[in-house]
Every structure is written in C-alpha cells, then in structure tokens.
A and B are shown apart, each in its own frame.
Chain A
C-alpha cells in the first residue's frame, strides 16, 4: 500500500547532480515526505524529509511542488558511494496515534565514473 511512485532506475555521472523524482499525488495536507537510501546489504539510511517548504541538509536537497503532489531529491555532486536504492516514502496512518513507513520499490541510482 505504498503511496508513492518512482522510476525503477536512473544513471548519473560522477560529480554531476542527481535528481530523483517521486510522485505522491494522494498525500494529505499534514503528511511529510521522507527519503531514505539503502546501499547494498546495509540497513536503510535516512536522508531528508519535508512538508511544504524546500529543505536542504548536508546530504541532499528536497524540492516539493507547491501542490505537494510530487517532489525531487537532489544530490548536488554525486559520488560513486551514492550508488544505492533511494526510497521516497509517505507515512501511512495505522490507527490510534500510530503511523508507519511503508516502502515502495524505490529507484536504483547508479553513479558512473
């Protein structure tokens, strides 16, 4: 019951910006968008999250459209170590005060030398 759509794979040249799109057209007004990545055989790693405004941290930038139906994760200068599966996630309400993160299939980003 993932609520996001991402391309299955993307390529990027080392040193260039990687722009990973995500569609979340059914997102509700108070739900955040989260991005995680998973390098092969490791646990997922949190990257960034946002609600309405664009966000930036030491790892990436998150651009959210004004209607909040889509977002783009930007890795400004991709390195070979950024090769990973990137997951865009919207929380799912699971009853009471409980929320859960349901992973979709994600985008495999391959950074090429």
Chain B
C-alpha cells in the first residue's frame, strides 16, 4: 500500500546532540510537510516543501532544518536539541494543487525524547 513512513518511531538523544528524522513516501506527492506536536497540543507546522521549494514558517527556530533530496524522501534535522524540543514529529504529504482541495496523508510520527 502507498504510504508515508517515518523513521525512527522513537528517538532518544542527549541535550545538544544532533538528531535526524526521516520520512519517505510512495505516493509520489509533490508536497511534504513537517509538523511538531508537543504533549496535549495540536500539531504545529514547522515547514513544507512544494516540490523543491522550501517554505519555512516564520516562527520555526533556526535549530530546525530540513532537506528533500528527491520526491520520495524528506529529512528533519535538529541541530542542537533542547529539552523543549521533545515532541512527536509528524511528516505528511499532499498532491500539489492551487485553489481546491488537498488532502494530507500523515505518517505515524517520530517521538523524540531529549535527556
């Protein structure tokens, strides 16, 4: 089945130690998103790629970076994780559209713990 796969599902890192989360998709969707979801909060958009065009949210800290080497893969890099970065990180994809509907397909998420 076509799907969005995130790895690892669980990641433990030390304060300040860089971490990379990966997302792959078999849907051939043009758009890929990264959301951060802290405990008991709604998902918050960090950034998204429209094809190769990177779109950063204004309030996303510089500590968060992303790479999209090809259509299928997207990475979230956290350069120096702090305790406040502990969260579930959700990857999602959608078909590129202009005006009209675009439905997001989410992965299962990567839960990051910072010690």
B43 at the A/B interface (Cβ < 8 Å)? yes
A112, chain B: closest CB distance, angstroms: 21
Give bound CA distance, A24 to B69, whole Å.
37
Question: Is A99 a contact of B102 with CB atoms below 8 Å?
Answer: yes
Residue-wise, chain B 101-113 has the 8 Å CB interface mask toward A (1 for contact) of: 1111111110100
Tally of contacts, chain A with chain B, CB under 8 A:
58
Considering only CB atoms and an 8 Å cut-off, how many residues of chain A contact the other chain? 28
- Say which residue of A42, A49, A87, A95 sits within 8 Å of B101 (CB atoms): A49
| 8 A-B contact pairs sorted by A residue (CB < 8 Å) | A32-B101, A42-B108, A42-B109, A43-B90, A99-B102, A100-B55, A103-B35, A103-B43
Considering only CB atoms and an 8 Å cut-off, how many residues of chain B contact the other chain? 28
B99 at the A/B interface (Cβ < 8 Å)? yes
Question: Is A100 a contact of B42 with CB atoms below 8 Å?
Answer: no
A21 at the A/B interface (Cβ < 8 Å)? no
Residue-wise, chain A 6-17 has the 8 Å CB interface mask toward B (1 for contact) of: 000000000000
A42, chain B: closest CB distance, angstroms: 6
Please report which residues of chain B, range 61-95, place their CB below 8 angstroms from some CB of chain A when the two chains form the complex: 88, 90, 92
For B42, what are the chain A residues with a Cβ–Cβ distance below 8 Å? 2, 87, 103-106
A52 at the A/B interface (Cβ < 8 Å)? no
B52 at the A/B interface (Cβ < 8 Å)? no
Please report which residues of chain A, range 1-49, place their CB below 8 angstroms from some CB of chain B when the two chains form the complex: 2, 30, 32, 34, 36, 41-46, 49
Knowing that A43-B90, A100-B55 touch, tell me 9 more A-B residue pairs with CB under 8 angstroms: A41-B109, A43-B108, A51-B101, A87-B42, A96-B50, A98-B48, A99-B97, A100-B33, A100-B48
B98, chain A: closest CB distance, angstroms: 5
For B17, what are the chain A residues with a Cβ–Cβ distance below 8 Å? none
A110, chain B: closest CB distance, angstroms: 15
Question: Is B105 a contact of A46 with CB atoms below 8 Å?
Answer: yes
For B96, what are the chain A residues with a Cβ–Cβ distance below 8 Å? 97
Question: Is B101 a contact of A101 with CB atoms below 8 Å?
Answer: no
Question: Is A98 a contact of B102 with CB atoms below 8 Å?
Answer: no
10 tightest Cβ-Cβ pairs between the two chains A and B: A43-B106, A103-B42, A103-B43, A97-B98, A32-B101, A44-B106, A43-B109, A43-B108, A46-B103, A43-B107
